[in-house]
Chains A and B, each alone.
Chain A
Amino acid sequence: MRAARTSAADAPAAAGVGRGVVNLAAPSRRAVEAALAAGASDAEAWVEESTSRRVRVYDGRVESLSDAGGRGVGVRAFVGARAGYAYGTDLSDRGVSEVAAAAREAAEVADEDEHAGLPGEFGAAAVDGFASGEFGAWSTERKVELTLAVERAARARKGVTQVESAVYSDAEGTVAIANSRGFAADYSSTQAWAYASAFAGEGAELMTGLGVGLGRDPAALDAERIGGEAAERAVALVGARQPRSGRCPVLLDAFVAASFVGFVAGMLSADAVQRGRSLFAGREGDEVADPALAVADDGIDPEGPASAPFDGEGSPTRRTPLLGDGRLLTFLFDVRTARKAGRATTGNARRGSYRSPPSVATTNVIVEPGTEDLEGLARLAGDGLYVTDVAGLHSGVNPVSGTLSVGASGRLIENGELAAPVRELTIASDLVSMLGAVQAVGAEARWVPFGGSVKAPPLLVGEMSVSGS
């Protein structure tokens, strides 16, 4: 295995308020040395630098425009079997040493954990392409133009009464890791997103719709499609009524399917399992889903927003099938949970940023597409419900028991066709019944930035309880 890149010095100079790319390998190594000097038996440092831009337009003009630079270091220090963490924004020699000393001091408070420690093997996956070479070619003016085009596209659709916001956002960053076992690596990535929120109807009949797009650079964003999607989603709901209560087939669109599948994949964290917080505990190898539903965690998909060559503790990332042939194939592990279970890490130690230590989490969750288009799925459903939005997923699902009851809106399905819009309803089931009741998987999968990073097609669930009037 090779390091993704041993030095960031050849990265393109960052524009804007960042300091430009500094060599992040140096502060990460210094932090490790400082932690050892302060008495740590092992240490690891994670250094980040990033710049980002955000454009928000409203009513044909720039509402806000930002230009930001961030940098910081997080140090994990081990004192025997005790682990402590500290972070800071000062990358000077003194700043880095203070953070290292604070991590060493924090470790003393922790109880011993025989499984804690650095990975025995580390490295980086031989993958590339997380940074677009075209990214730097986009001026702020062009990004503003793109955002305005998203708004125009939404407003141009018949029935749209307002575009509440159209937002473009991007980030360009470099991450470096170093540890006291001699591992050091870094990589750079770029990301661009845009979304629009459109309104249709007025007063009590006002409905909202969201359109999103994401990619490695702004050229990957189709303004017409993002704005159009927001508009169509809002317009489709105008005149929505509360449906009758009952049990029926429920077709989840890609947004909603992604939210659910992302939630389920999060419960496959070995940490949640080992701490008794997952309803999938003890069910590895069991039949838990319909065979139509195949799901993988993929940390190396070149398109995946969460892809990286190494995870938050320096283990190489990879693709890990989670659900296949109806069975639960594996949980997701970092080094600590793997040691505890007598298994190997799956490269799923993740960090929100340098401000948090690594913990087990999904990378990109990918649902294998099926064969049916949306019309075909509706035909299969016969009479049922097409759900295009759910609210309160995180409060409405009990992650331990799996019971769920979430607010929803969408459309009725009558005689195999999409019919009148509905809202103010809840759909209820439990996650295991729901996974087992997946009847068909749509052909058109898309990246959805909710519920983590998920690529999902629409899913048809055979039966759920719908509560309306």
Chain B
Amino acid sequence: MTLVEPDIAARVLEGALVRGGDLAELYAESRRGFSLSLDDGRVERPQSGRERGACIRVVKGESTYYGYVDGVDESDLLRVAQSVAQALRGDERRPAGLSAATAAESHPVRTRPEEVEAARKADLLRTCDERARAAGAEVSQVRIGYGESRRLVEVYNSGGRAASDDRTRVRLSAQVVARRDGRVETGTETRGGHAGWELLESDPDEVAVSAARKALALLDAVDAPTGRLPVVVGNGFGGVLLHEAVGHGLEADAVQKRASVYAGRLGEQVAPELVTAYDDGRREGDWGSDGIDDEGTPTRRTTVIEEGRLSSYLYDLLRARRDGVDSTGNGRRESFRHPPMPRMTNTFFAPGEATPEELISEVERGLYAVSFGGGQVEPATGEFVFGVSEGYLIEGGRVTAPVRGATLVGNGLEALRAIDGVAGDLEIATGYCGKAGQSVPAGVGQPHVRIRELTVGGTAA
């Protein structure tokens, strides 16, 4: 299916360049989605949506001019092109000729989610609800969410690029609340991928059971300790620490504005040799994967830290041009309503040699941070804050009581340097990453990693 024919795209790019520009781009998108939730034992909020729209962008020197519109009719597109061009003050440029968009190698989708009956999706939610409630009498609230989306993306630019991508994602999430006397605790779990319904065909109720187990465990939680402690960070969603505290600082827009602690440090040893990290938008079926990025560059694996040395930043076309390098395929955007910028895809630490048990057994007193409720980082300084949503004390080399209310506060560079153990159990989890008002699906992940010392802000005196 074609959204915009190449001859129309060519006319639009011509229109966008009538007053000059180094690069003109047309990004067209058709997206459809369906979501459903279950709350309080009731299937509710069935929602379906269909959107079509386009974004036209002209880059001239260091400036970007863009406009977007709902709809992909030629008249809409030409009007946006004209409006964008009006902001420029140069001589007309001619775009290169365009061929039909080349479809990106897509990720396998065995069962198209939109072809699965909605009633089956509702049944899946009901099964999850039952299983979560069966996990313990103290489970008091269960909320299950299901979402699917399909995005057809076409990118044409004045350099002759013509590429398309067909992206399907599904995601199942569970949030379970457990109560005992006055205590109320919440556990969450998700499963998602760049994949079809098949992702949810095997044991989808595990998602609900896992969320319930976390909530139940937290009922026995003690107040979190306070102070500087060794921290073992769990695999999978524990990788949000890398994502926030390091990954954002490697995005080339922050680097070029020197708004990143990693600016000017390529080649520097920023972590011990046992640390290697990747951003990989190709990993088959993973949540942050695509065939091409949102500027039409094929996605790929970029080694950002190689045996402790900072080896690459993450680029979109604009920032790559500025640094005289190739885009790393990280030019992503939330939708046609947003301009692309450097964003992570799936970012993770490479697996090491240790086992999680070994990492924990060497800690006399510390924190085992399994999962985070979210986090925030200031890329300019590398300072971060993370709320630990599932955490345990480590005492005498063993995981003991669950803790609540723990916060990790620190600095990305310091945390990287303090890594002293990496396990082999790499796992990628699903997240939504927000930056400059845009939210994109991002895979976060890692094996178990130990940080020698971090500031833990707790509630215990």
Nearest B residue to A76, CB-CB: B47
Q: From residue B252, how far is it (CB to closest CB) to chain A in Å?
A: 14
Decide yes or no whether A158 CB sits under 8 A from chain B.
Answer: no
Decide yes or no whether A162 CB sits under 8 A from chain B.
Answer: yes
Q: Which of A80-88, A327-335, A343-351, A451-459 has 4 or more CB atoms under 8 Å from chain B?
A: A80-88
Q: Which residues of A contact B122 (CB under 8 A)?
A: 109
Query: What is the 8 Å Cβ interface bit string for chain A, positions 355-399, against chain B (1 contact, 0 not)?
Result: 111000000000000000000000000000000000110111010
Bound complex: CA A357 to CA B45 (Å): 8
Decide yes or no whether B112 CB sits under 8 A from chain A.
Answer: no
Q: From residue B244, how far is it (CB to closest CB) to chain A in Å?
A: 10
Q: Which of A24-32, A170-178, A309-317, A424-432 has 4 or more CB atoms under 8 Å from chain B?
A: A424-432
Decide yes or no whether B159 CB sits under 8 A from chain A.
Answer: no
Asked whether, in the complex, the Cβ of B177 is within 8 Å of the Cβ of A277, the reply is yes
Decide yes or no whether B110 CB sits under 8 A from chain A.
Answer: no
Q: Which of A58-66, A120-128, A225-233 has 4 or more CB atoms under 8 Å from chain B?
A: A58-66
Asked whether, in the complex, the Cβ of A392 is within 8 Å of the Cβ of B63, the reply is no
Decide yes or no whether B39 CB sits under 8 A from chain A.
Answer: yes
Asked whether, in the complex, the Cβ of B141 is within 8 Å of the Cβ of A109, the reply is no
Query: What is the 8 Å Cβ interface bit string for chain B, positions 15-54, against chain A (1 contact, 0 not)?
Result: 0000000000000000000001001101111111111110
With A83-B44, A89-B53, A405-B405 known to touch, is A69 a contact of B457 (CB < 8 Å)?
A: no
Asked whether, in the complex, the Cβ of B380 is within 8 Å of the Cβ of A394, the reply is no
Asked whether, in the complex, the Cβ of A68 is within 8 Å of the Cβ of B375, the reply is no
Question: Which secondary structure dominates chain B's binding surface?
Answer: strand
Q: Which residues of B contact A162 (CB under 8 A)?
A: 257-259
Q: From residue B383, how far is it (CB to closest CB) to chain A in Å?
A: 7
Nearest B residue to A203, CB-CB: B261
Q: From residue A464, how far is it (CB to closest CB) to chain B in Å?
A: 11
Bound complex: CA A64 to CA B383 (Å): 28
Nearest B residue to A205, CB-CB: B381
Asked whether, in the complex, the Cβ of A207 is within 8 Å of the Cβ of B387, the reply is no
Decide yes or no whether A13 CB sits under 8 A from chain B.
Answer: no
Decide yes or no whether A90 CB sits under 8 A from chain B.
Answer: yes
Decide yes or no whether A401 CB sits under 8 A from chain B.
Answer: yes
Interface residues of B in 184-210 (CB under 8 A from A): 184-186
Q: Which residues of B contact A199 (CB under 8 A)?
A: 259, 380
Asked whether, in the complex, the Cβ of B457 is within 8 Å of the Cβ of A63, the reply is no
With A109-B122, A396-B407 known to touch, is A277 a contact of B339 (CB < 8 Å)?
A: no
Bound complex: CA A106 to CA B381 (Å): 47
With A72-B70, A392-B374 known to touch, is A405 a contact of B44 (CB < 8 Å)?
A: no
Query: What is the 8 Å Cβ interface bit string for chain A, positions 200-215, against chain B (1 contact, 0 not)?
Result: 0000101110000000
Q: From residue A388, how far is it (CB to closest CB) to chain B in Å?
A: 13
Decide yes or no whether A156 CB sits under 8 A from chain B.
Answer: no
Bound complex: CA A384 to CA B37 (Å): 45
Asked whether, in the complex, the Cβ of A406 is within 8 Å of the Cβ of B385, the reply is yes
Interface residues of B in 401-425 (CB under 8 A from A): 404-407, 409-411
Interface residues of B in 73-104 (CB under 8 A from A): 79-80, 83-84, 87
Bound complex: CA A85 to CA B405 (Å): 37
With A199-B259, A403-B405 known to touch, is A64 a contact of B66 (CB < 8 Å)?
A: yes
Asked whether, in the complex, the Cβ of A109 is within 8 Å of the Cβ of B118, the reply is yes
Decide yes or no whether A411 CB sits under 8 A from chain B.
Answer: no
Bound complex: CA A165 to CA B122 (Å): 46
Q: Which residues of B contact A165 (CB under 8 A)?
A: 257
Nearest B residue to A106, CB-CB: B46
Decide yes or no whether B156 CB sits under 8 A from chain A.
Answer: no
With A85-B47, A102-B48 known to touch, is A65 a contact of B376 (CB < 8 Å)?
A: no
Q: Which residues of A contact B47 (CB under 8 A)?
A: 84-87, 106, 356-357
Bound complex: CA A277 to CA B69 (Å): 38
With A395-B386, A467-B457 known to touch, is A110 a contact of B50 (CB < 8 Å)?
A: no
Nearest B residue to A84, CB-CB: B46
Query: What is the 8 Å Cβ interface bit string for chain A, positions 63-101, against chain B (1 contact, 0 not)?
Result: 111111111100000000001111111100000001100
Bound complex: CA A424 to CA B409 (Å): 6
Asked whether, in the complex, the Cβ of A107 is within 8 Å of the Cβ of B46, the reply is yes
Asked whether, in the complex, the Cβ of A16 is within 8 Å of the Cβ of B83, the reply is yes
Query: B376: which of A58, A164, A392, A425 is its contact (CB, 8 Å)?
Result: A392
Q: Which residues of B contact A99 (CB under 8 A)?
A: 50
Bound complex: CA A87 to CA B50 (Å): 6
Query: What is the 8 Å Cβ interface bit string for chain B, positions 336-376, against chain A (1 contact, 0 not)?
Result: 01010000000000000000000000000000000011111
Decide yes or no whether A465 CB sits under 8 A from chain B.
Answer: yes
With A164-B257, A398-B405 known to touch, is A71 a contact of B70 (CB < 8 Å)?
A: yes
Bound complex: CA A423 to CA B410 (Å): 10
Bound complex: CA A107 to CA B119 (Å): 11
Query: B87: which of A65, A103, A105, A108 is its contact (CB, 8 Å)?
Result: A65
Q: From residue A51, how far is it (CB to closest CB) to chain B in Å?
A: 10
Decide yes or no whether A286 CB sits under 8 A from chain B.
Answer: no
Q: Which residues of A contact B409 (CB under 8 A)?
A: 407, 424-426
Q: Which residues of B contact A72 (CB under 8 A)?
A: 51, 70
Query: What is the 8 Å Cβ interface bit string for chain A, positions 435-469, against chain B (1 contact, 0 not)?
Result: 00000000000000000000000000000010101
Asked whether, in the complex, the Cβ of A428 is within 8 Å of the Cβ of B67, the reply is no
Interface residues of A in 162-221 (CB under 8 A from B): 162, 164-165, 199, 204, 206-208
Asked whether, in the complex, the Cβ of B121 is within 8 Å of the Cβ of A109, the reply is yes
Q: From residue B239, how far is it (CB to closest CB) to chain A in Å?
A: 15
Asked whether, in the complex, the Cβ of A403 is within 8 Å of the Cβ of B459, the reply is yes
With A110-B44, A140-B87 known to touch, is A69 a contact of B376 (CB < 8 Å)?
A: no
Decide yes or no whether B226 CB sits under 8 A from chain A.
Answer: yes
Q: Which residues of B contact A425 (CB under 8 A)?
A: 409, 457
Asked whether, in the complex, the Cβ of B385 is within 8 Å of the Cβ of A392, the reply is yes
Asked whether, in the complex, the Cβ of B84 is within 8 Å of the Cβ of A400, the reply is no
Bound complex: CA A99 to CA B257 (Å): 44
Asked whether, in the complex, the Cβ of A424 is within 8 Å of the Cβ of B459, the reply is no
Nearest A residue to B378, CB-CB: A208
Interface residues of B in 281-333 (CB under 8 A from A): none
Q: Which residues of B contact A406 (CB under 8 A)?
A: 385, 387, 407
Bound complex: CA A105 to CA B49 (Å): 12
Query: What is the 8 Å Cβ interface bit string for chain A, positions 1-28, against chain B (1 contact, 0 not)?
Result: 0000000000000001110000000000
Asked whether, in the complex, the Cβ of B65 is within 8 Å of the Cβ of A396, the reply is no
Query: What is the 8 Å Cβ interface bit string for chain B, positions 231-269, against chain A (1 contact, 0 not)?
Result: 000000000000000000000000001110000000000
Nearest A residue to B258, CB-CB: A162
Q: From residue B406, how far is it (CB to closest CB) to chain A in Å?
A: 7
Bound complex: CA A253 to CA B45 (Å): 38
Decide yes or no whether A245 CB sits under 8 A from chain B.
Answer: yes
Asked whether, in the complex, the Cβ of B461 is within 8 Å of the Cβ of A407, the reply is no
Decide yes or no whether A113 CB sits under 8 A from chain B.
Answer: yes
Decide yes or no whether B272 CB sits under 8 A from chain A.
Answer: no
Query: A86: which of B42, B49, B226, B384 is its contact (CB, 8 Å)?
Result: B49
Bound complex: CA A55 to CA B110 (Å): 44
Asked whether, in the complex, the Cβ of A90 is within 8 Å of the Cβ of B71, the reply is yes
Decide yes or no whether B140 CB sits under 8 A from chain A.
Answer: yes
Bound complex: CA A159 to CA B386 (Å): 30
Decide yes or no whether B62 CB sits under 8 A from chain A.
Answer: yes
Query: B141: which of A275, A355, A426 is its contact (CB, 8 Å)?
Result: A275
Asked whether, in the complex, the Cβ of B70 is within 8 Å of the Cβ of A89, the reply is yes
Decide yes or no whether B173 CB sits under 8 A from chain A.
Answer: no
Bound complex: CA A98 to CA B51 (Å): 12
User: Can you pick out 13 interface pairs between chain A and chain B where the beta carbons lie within 8 Å of each other?
Assistant: A66-B66, A70-B70, A87-B47, A87-B50, A90-B52, A110-B46, A204-B381, A392-B407, A394-B374, A396-B387, A401-B183, A407-B376, A424-B455
Which residues does A use to contact B, with CB under 8 Å? 16-18, 58, 61-72, 83-90, 98-99, 102-103, 105-111, 113, 140, 162, 164-165, 199, 204, 206-208, 242, 245, 275-277, 279, 355-357, 391-392, 394-396, 398, 400-401, 403-407, 423-426, 428, 465, 467, 469
Further pairs besides A17-B80, A425-B457: 4, Cβ < 8 Å:
A62-B63, A109-B121, A110-B45, A275-B40
Closest 6 CB pairs of A and B: A426-B457, A407-B385, A395-B374, A395-B387, A395-B373, A106-B46
